[in-house]
Structure 1
């Protein structure tokens, strides 16, 4: 139906003009964020209904027999069809909740209550927190479904995050000894005898991703290293995301996690220094694989940017196959915990706690056999240059290039 301009009331035209002017002032990144938030609100209704249904069901089960008998007839007709449709999903959710509860209780030596200041049971506390992590849903929506104040929900959630992050050293562990040997990968698929050929085995794959967060209103753009006049208008402020650096093994399990502010330019330097001081972390005959822009050392091998001959291109392809492993692990993490797609909080410490909680629970879910496959995001390759190349790293890479070429020549055609 077409609406003529003359039929619009003067007040309506003023409002429409104001809205249009506001949208025109938004950058593409800000406009995309607002559209995403609109989509979030559309899916919140179904999720909140499911959470409230589970809450009401447990409340009825805990009620006295006479009260329960009075409550069931009133809701039996409306709930029967919903329960039948969602029974498998509810079963899976309950299994995860119970597993996480057991995980926290087994590592909680102080026997601190999971609920903190909450008036919820342990199962409700974990369900609430996992709901906030797995869906892009606001504290207000969850608080209304649990009939609790937003501030109390906020405290419950971050109390849960604190207890999970306290288990970091227990869950995200660098492999040593026999455990490390069990998860070594061949350097390339054509390699049938890596030890004989001299090619190193791959201990893990190093990569990173960005986690968008809300920019602090009180922090002006002038505090950035780049003057505002020289910054592209459609590029977000560097402090509007967190750098999440991870190392995964052959199973997609995280064995290393480092979180920093978007404005920090670490990119593997902390891990490289840690390995330099503790060389036993990467045993002889093994290595880590990382992308361009990471330090090239004797223990961390990176691609050529780009390869200049067939030998270097073959080496780059072999590394590319391994780099796909960390990209898939990151995609699985973001698919499982959709809150990481945008953290609507300007507090760095709180945002870091949420990200670390998700990384730890990623490993916990793998331990219980719960698998999730996310879609790997296609990103435009960045024109990055090699940094922090040391002589031992350059020599090691050249050695691997030559060994890889000889291995391909010796392979049966």
Structure 2
């Protein structure tokens, strides 16, 4: 009897253990099936790489923003038109009861709508948009990179607004309904694409093109019939420079300088708080050469002079460049005397000065059109250079479309600029031109 009880108990325990094992096996099967399903779902919903997912996210966001901009303009225009018709039908008393805040909001909405329509119809925006679309670059024909991107026409509008006015990203963000960081990325993406066209737009003339833009050395002689310049060189272009103020980079305190502490002036700007912009313009004020360097880099035309020395074919025979005092005097680059000591030198200086006025006017036009260049609130050299170079390229683009802007000449003359006479061939060439110019004047009929 006792042995039978033991047997039954053992059999019951065995059945209970078997049930537990079956339940555990069932749970494991369910978990495994769940993992299989989750893997399948993940493979279904995440078939793309991180880069592809980011691209699709960008596309979706930008389409939403553009749709929202169009919808807002349409809604604001319709709302203002409806309100205007209601105001015409209402009595003066009803108009007085209308909340002033509502009226001001509607007027602001109407102004934004009209401003958007007017700027989108701006021929300059359309010209630059078509120019970028026709360029052969690695960028998209319709869009530029950056999260929350805009269409190319909206990008051009945004970027030209930033370049032509001294306004902040914050001010533009409210008009374009974009975050400040997005505007920063869009603007510099625009600059990058424009810069790819540098060699196409800022191009040194050669061959027949160079001959078409030559200027007489003396405008006075060219205006008098019967007078010939008798061996005087003709002018291919004018070399000059300007400073573009920038924010002092981090880690560059004003006290940092190689000069002794006693000789430093408190009002003297730090040499790295601006960029040197060196340009050569032709007879039309078009830039044919552009070089940007840090304020502390003492170049002053030496890069271009060396380039011409190694490539003398850059200047056709019997031609030269005109530059101001402080530039290297060479056989191809003629500079004025720092001080004329006789009538011959004074006559020469007046002829050279008339050419220097051309580069000064071109620089004034550049800063008038792109007022952001009056002060770049950025301490990063690469980005500051990108903005300056973009403005120089667009200067030529606008000249191509016939858009001329005249700026006021800057009359501040740089102090402490010494005459450079290191090239003996340059000194001889200048003396020859001085004598030819004066002899031609003496031979003129009295």
- Report the equivalent of 1:284: 317
- Is this contact kept in 2: 1:186–1:194, CA < 8 A? no
**Following TM superposition, by how much is the alpha carbon of 1:119 offset from its aligned partner in structure 2, in angstroms?**
3.0
Structure 2 CA distance for partners of 1:72 and 1:242, relative to 1, 3 Å: same
- Report the equivalent of 1:73: 82
Matching residue within 307, 320, 344 for 2:353: 320
- Report the equivalent of 1:25: none
- Report the equivalent of 1:184: 214
- Report the equivalent of 1:15: none
Matching residue within 138, 155, 165 for 2:185: 155
- Report the equivalent of 2:70: 59
- Report the equivalent of 1:345: 378
Structure 2 CA distance for partners of 1:123 and 1:92, relative to 1, 3 Å: closer
Task: Output the CA distance in 1 between the equivalents of 2:246 and 2:119.
Answer: 33
- Report the equivalent of 1:165: 195
Task: Output the CA distance in 2 between the equivalents of 1:125 and 1:182.
Answer: 36
- Is this contact kept in 2: 1:221–1:228, CA < 8 A? no
Matching residue within 107, 122, 136 for 1:94: 122
**Following TM superposition, by how much is the alpha carbon of 1:80 offset from its aligned partner in structure 2, in angstroms?**
11
Task: Tell me how large the CA RMSD over aligned residues is.
Answer: 2.8
Q: Deviations over 1:138-163 (max 9, x none)?
A: 01111122121111110000000011
Structure 2 unaligned residues grouped into runs of 5+ = 1-65, 86-105
Task: Output the CA distance in 2 between the equivalents of 1:160 and 1:240.
Answer: 25
- Report the equivalent of 1:142: 172
- Is this contact kept in 2: 1:190–1:411, CA < 8 A? no
Higher mean alpha-carbon deviation, 326-335 vs 93-102, is at 93-102
Number of corresponding residues: 356
Structure 2 CA distance for partners of 1:143 and 1:108, relative to 1, 3 Å: farther
Task: Output the CA distance in 2 between the equivalents of 1:269 and 1:75.
Answer: 65
Higher mean alpha-carbon deviation, 335-344 vs 121-130, is at 121-130
Larger Rg: 2
Task: Output the CA distance in 2 between the equivalents of 1:334 and 1:321.
Answer: 21
- Report the equivalent of 1:5: none
Matching residue within 132, 137, 161 for 1:109: 137
SS in 2 for 1:315: helix
Q: Any residues of structure 2 matched to 1:13-412 within 5 Å, and which?
A: 59-60=70-71, 69=78, 72-74=81-83, 78=107, 90=118, 94-112=122-140, 113-117=142-146, 118-192=148-222, 197-380=230-413, 382-412=415-445
Task: Output the CA distance in 2 between the equivalents of 1:380 and 1:291.
Answer: 11
Q: Deviations over 1:115-139 (max 9, x none)?
A: 3123312111111000000000001
- Is this contact kept in 1: 2:76–2:109, CA < 8 A? no
SS in 1 for 2:235: strand
SS in 2 for 1:288: strand
Task: Output the CA distance in 1 between the equivalents of 2:302 and 2:292.
Answer: 13
SS in 2 for 1:293: coil
Q: Deviations over 1:42-89 (max 9, x none)?
A: xxxxxxxxxxxxx999614986xx9975675258883799599979x9
TM-score (norm 2): 0.74
SS in 1 for 2:184: helix
TM-score (norm 1): 0.80
- Is this contact kept in 1: 2:139–2:193, CA < 8 A? no
Higher mean alpha-carbon deviation, 324-333 vs 136-145, is at 136-145
- Report the equivalent of 1:39: none
SS in 2 for 1:396: helix
Structure 1 unaligned residues grouped into runs of 5+ = 1-54
Structure 2 CA distance for partners of 1:262 and 1:310, relative to 1, 3 Å: same
Task: Output the CA distance in 1 between the equivalents of 2:275 and 2:188.
Answer: 18
Task: Output the CA distance in 2 between the equivalents of 1:362 and 1:143.
Answer: 25
- Is this contact kept in 2: 1:114–1:160, CA < 8 A? no
- Larger RCO: Structure 1 or Structure 2 (Cα < 8 Å, ≥ 6 residues apart)? 1
Task: Output the CA distance in 2 between the equivalents of 1:329 and 1:247.
Answer: 10
Structure 2 CA distance for partners of 1:121 and 1:83, relative to 1, 3 Å: closer
